[in-house]
Amino acid sequence: MAAKQEILEGAMAVAHAVARCRPEVVAAYPITPQTHISEELSQIVADGELDAEFVKVESEFGAASVCLGASATGARAYTATSSQGLMLMGEVLWNIAGMRLPIVLACANRSVSAPLSIWCDHQDAESVRDCGVLQLYAEDSQEACDQHVIAFRVAEDRRVLLPVMVNLDGFLLTHVFEPTELPDQALCDAFLPPYDAALKLDPANPATFGAFTEPDKCMEGRWMIHDAALRSLSVIEEVSAEFAKVFGRPSGGLLEEYRSQDAETILIAKGSICGTIKDVIDQVRDEGKKVGLVRIKTYRPWPKDALLKALASAKQVAVIERGASFGAGGVMTPEVKETLYDAGKVIPVSGYCVQLGGREVPPDGFREIIDRTSKGQRQKAYEYFRLRTEILPDLVPTK
Amino acid sequence: MNDKLLSMDRLSIGCVAPPAGSVENKTGAWRAMRPVFKQKDCIGCRACELVCPEGCVAGNAKEKKFDFDPDYCKGCGMCAAECPKDDIDMVREEK
Amino acid sequence: MKFDYSDRILVPGYTSCLGCGEALAMRIVAQTAGKDTIFTNCTGCSEIFTSRYPTSSWAAPWIHSLFENSAAVATGVAAALKHKGKLDSTKVIAMGGDGGTADIGLQCLSGAFERGDDLLYVCYDNEAYMNTGIQRSGMTPLGAATTTSPAGKASWGNSRPKKDLPMIMAAHNPPYVAVTSMGYYREIPRIVKKALEMRGPRFIQIHCTCPLGWRSEPAQSAEIARLAFETGCYPLYEIIDGQMTPHKAPKDGWKPVEIYLKPQGRFRHLFRAADGVQQIARVQALAAANIRKYYGDEAVPDFAREAEKKVAETAAATA
C-alpha cells in the first residue's frame, strides 16, 4: 500500500486521527493551543464524516464530566485540552481513573498561569501525573496521531482500563505543518474494534458507580489503579509492536534510544525538544564523543526497567525538563535518580529546567549541557538553565 | 455478566457495587419507637404507605389493612403523624 | 405481612436520618421513573446514604461522580444513549441537593439546559449543605441558623433570601419547570410523570425537610414542609412551555410565617430576643412578596401587609 503523506498542521492531523478511532462522544472546550483539534473534530462531525455526538460544553470541567458519563454508559469518549483547562478538569481526571474509565484525551502542553502564558511547557500534564491517567509524549506530529490510536487500544484493554493522555507540545507540534500519514481507516477499524465495556450503566444490568469506600477497603481500591498502570507497561509494548507491524511506524513504545546504546553521557527528555537534541547529538557524535538521548515516550507508567536498561552504558546523565516542582527541584529528574539509586547505580544525574512558558533553548544550549555533563561533576541542585537574572528585581524587597 | 464481575466480598474494578445490596442492612435495629397499627379507624387513604421515607409500610387499601416492616422501620413517626384518623400510635421499642 | 422489595428502584436499608425528607422524595421519584432509567447523583446526603460500598440501595443503574457535575455526567450519559439509539427507551435523571445544584453545580446545570440536553434534573432542596454538617448554601432561607451562618450576639443567622433557582432554570426556556414539596408527597408522582413525558431539559425542585439540619421533630417532616408553602415561604408551581400555573392556594388561607418557623430550631433565635420580631417581619415580608407574585396583590393577607409596612419603615429609618 502506498504511503500517503500530507502536509498537515499538527492539531488538524490529530483531529483526523482521532476521528478515525471512531469516538462516539466528543466533548471539548476551547483553549489555546488545543483549539484546532476541537474545531477540526467539530467540522468533521458537521460534514457527516464522523458519527459522533459533539457536545459543546461550558467548561473543561464539563468536558471531562461529559466524557465520564458517556464512557460509563459504554461509549468511546474523547476530549482535548491544555494548561488551565487541564487544571480545571483535574478533579474529574482523578475520578475517571478511579472509576477505571478508558477515556482518551490530548493535552497540548502549555504553561500554567500565573504569570499567564500560552506557550509550551510540561507543567500542566506533570501536575496530574499521580492520578492514574497514563501519559504518552509525542516528538512529532506523526507520533501524536499514532499515539492516539495506540492510546484507545491500551485504555480499553481489559488488563488496563485506565484513561490515557496523549501529550503534544503546544504550538511546537499543534501549529506546525509536517508531513504526516493519517492512519488508514480500514486498518484502524481492524486495529481498534468498537469499545465493549465490561461494566456500564445499563438498565438491563444495573450497577452502582461511584460508591464511597471506608478505610478498610479504600487503599485496595486505589492500589488497583497503580497495579493496572504497572501492568499497562507490557500492554503498551505489546500494542505498540502490533501497531508497528500493521501501520509500519515505530510511534509507540516506552522510550526511544537515540545513539545511546554505547553512550557515556546520556540525555533524557520528552516531547518535541528531542528533535533539536538529536541534531546536537549528531554533531557531538561527529566529534567522536559518546553521547546519546533516551527519549521518554511513555511517562506514566514510569518505564523504570526499560530506562535502566537504556542507561546501562551511562557514566553521567542529564535530564532535560520543561517542568519543575517549585520549592523542590525537577519532576523527571528525581524519578530518574530514584530509578538509578534503587538499582545501586549512583552516577551523577544533572537536572535542567530548560524552559517554562515557551522560550526555546537553541542548539548551543544543549551543547553546553552535554559538555558540562560530560565532565562528570555532581550537580548541586536542579538548574533553571540560562535564567535571565538581569531582568529579576530585588527578590527580597527592602523596606 | 455482572454477577461474575461484581460481588459483596471482593472489590470490583473501579469499585462498582452490585445493585440493591443494602437490603442486608436492617435499619430496624436503629429504632427507639415503633408504630402500632391499631386497624380500628383506617380509611385506606394510604398516607402511611406513601409518606414512609424508608418505604417500609405496606398494605391493602381496599381491605384497610396496613403494617410496617420491622426489619427497616426506624421509628420516625411520620406514618402516625400523617394518619388522618389517628389510627397509628408510636410506642417505645422494647427489644 | 410479607414485604416484597423486588420491584423497588430504591430498596430499603439506606442510612438516612429518621424522617428524612430527601429520602422520601427520592424514593418516590425513583419509583415513578421506573427501571428503564439511568440516575446520576452528586455528592451529598443521598449519595452517602444510598451507596456505601459494596452495599447500594439502587436497583437501577446509578452513578455518583463529583459534587458539582451531576448534570454534566447526565449530559454524557444522554449523549452516549443517543449515539447508541437508546435515548427513546432509557430515561436520564440527574439528581442533586441544593448546594450541589444551585451553588457548585450551577455551571454544569446551566450548560446542560442551554444546550437543550435530554435529561430531567431533580433538585432536592433541604436548604443547606447538610451532608457536611449543616452549612449555609445559596438556598438557605433568610434568618436560618446554619453552622456558617450561625445566630449570635452580632448575627440573626442567614442574612440573604433564597436564590431563586427554579426561575434561573426557567430563564433557559426549558419545556418544564416544577417546584413541589415532600409535604405533598401524593403530588410528586404526577409531576415526575409529566416531566418524563417530555423531551429536552426539565427541572423539578422538591422542598425537603431535614429534621437534623432544621432541628425539627422527624415525625413532623411532612407537616412542616406543607407549612412552608401555606405561609408563602416556599412557592410551589409548574411552568409548562413558559406557562406558569401556581399550586392551588391553601384552602384555609395563608398562614403567618411564625407557624412555619416555630417548630424549627434553626429559627429559634428569632423568637428569643425581643427584637427578633423585626427579623420575623422580614421573613413575613418575603412571604408576602411571594404571595403577591404568584397569586396577585388581593391575595396578600393583612398581617403580611403589616409586616411589609414595618420592614419598609425600618429600612427608611436606618437609611
Chain A contact probe: residue of B3, B4, B9, B15 with most A CBs at under 10 A: B15
pLDDT of residue A5: 92
pLDDT of residue C274: 82
**Range 182-221 of A in CB contact (< 8 A) with B:** 198-199, 205-209, 211, 213, 217, 220-221
d(CA A246, CA A337): 36
Q: What is the 8-class DSSP label of residue B23?
A: G
Residue C60 has pLDDT above 50, yes or no: yes
Banded pLDDT at A2 (limits 50, 70, 90): very low
pLDDT of residue A273: 97
**What's the residue count for chain B?**
95
Question: In this predicted model, what pLDDT tens digit does every residue of A36-78 receive, in sequence order?
Answer: 999 999 999 999 999 999 999 999 999 999 999 999 999 999 9
State chain A's mean pLDDT as an integer: 97
CA atoms within 13 A on the CB side of A18: 36
pLDDT of residue A3: 63
Question: In this predicted model, what pLDDT tens digit does every residue of C153-185 receive, in sequence order?
Answer: 999 999 999 999 999 999 999 999 999 999 999
Q: Which of A114, A152, A367 is nearest to A265 (CA)?
A: A367
Using the Cβ of C51 and the Cβ atoms of chain B, whether some distance falls under 8 Å is answered with: yes
What DSSP element (H or E) covers A341? Answer: helix A332-342
Q: Which residues contact B82 (CB under 8 A, 6 or more apart)?
A: B47, B48, B51, C222, C223
Q: What is the 8-class DSSP label of residue C149?
A: B
d(CA B39, CA B68): 12
For chain B, the domains span 26-92
Question: Three cell numbers at C3?
Answer: 414485604
Residue A180 has pLDDT above 80, yes or no: yes
Distances (CA, A) of A64 to A23, A26, A73, C81, C174: 14, 10, 14, 17, 24
| Partner residue facing B72 (CB), from C13, C24, C58 | C13
B-chain CB neighbours of A101 within 8 Å are 14
ipTM for this prediction: 0.97
Q: Which residues contact A69 (CB under 8 A, 6 or more apart)?
A: C40, C63, C65, C72, C73, C74, C75, C76, C77, C78, C79, C80
| Partner residue facing C19 (CB), from B59, B67, B78 | B78
Q: Which CATH class for the B26-92 domain?
A: alpha beta
Using the Cβ of B52 and the Cβ atoms of chain C, whether some distance falls under 8 Å is answered with: yes
B-chain CB neighbours of A207 within 8 Å are 2, 6, 16-19
Using the Cβ of B19 and the Cβ atoms of chain A, whether some distance falls under 8 Å is answered with: yes
Q: Can you tell me whether residue C208 is helix, strand or coil?
A: coil
- In percent, the amount of chain C with pLDDT more than 90 equals 97
Residue A51 and residue C83: Cβ atoms within 8 Å?
yes
- In percent, the amount of chain A with pLDDT more than 70 equals 99
A-chain CB neighbours of B13 within 8 Å are 100, 161, 198-199, 224, 228
d(CA C20, CA C50): 13
d(CA C254, CA C258): 12
Residue C10 and residue B52: Cβ atoms within 8 Å?
no
Pairing of strands B88-92, C37-41: unpaired
Label residues C82-97 b or e (16+ Cβ within 10 Å = b): bbeebbeebbbbbbbb
In degrees and rounded to multiples of 5, residue B41 shows phi and psi of -115, 15
d(CA A252, CA A306): 14
Whether the CB-CB separation of A322 and A356 falls below 8 Å is answered with yes
Nearest-10 Cα torsion for C138, C141, C147, C149: 80
Question: In this predicted model, what pLDDT tens digit does every residue of C69-102 receive, in sequence order?
Answer: 999 999 999 999 999 999 999 999 999 999 999 9
Using the Cβ of C6 and the Cβ atoms of chain A, whether some distance falls under 8 Å is answered with: no
Q: Which of C280, C242, C281 is nearest to C262 (CA)?
A: C280
Whether the CB-CB separation of B49 and B4 falls below 8 Å is answered with no
From first to last of the 95 residues of chain B, give the pLDDT tens digit.
Answer: 577 899 999 999 999 999 999 999 999 999 999 999 999 999 999 999 999 999 999 999 999 999 999 999 999 999 999 999 999 999 999 87
State chain C's mean pLDDT as an integer: 97
pLDDT of residue A398: 80
Mean pLDDT calculated for residue range A222-251: 98
Using the Cβ of C268 and the Cβ atoms of chain A, whether some distance falls under 8 Å is answered with: no
Banded pLDDT at C319 (limits 50, 70, 90): confident
Question: Three cell numbers at C198?
Answer: 417530555
| Partner residue facing B76 (CB), from C50, C60, C218 | C218
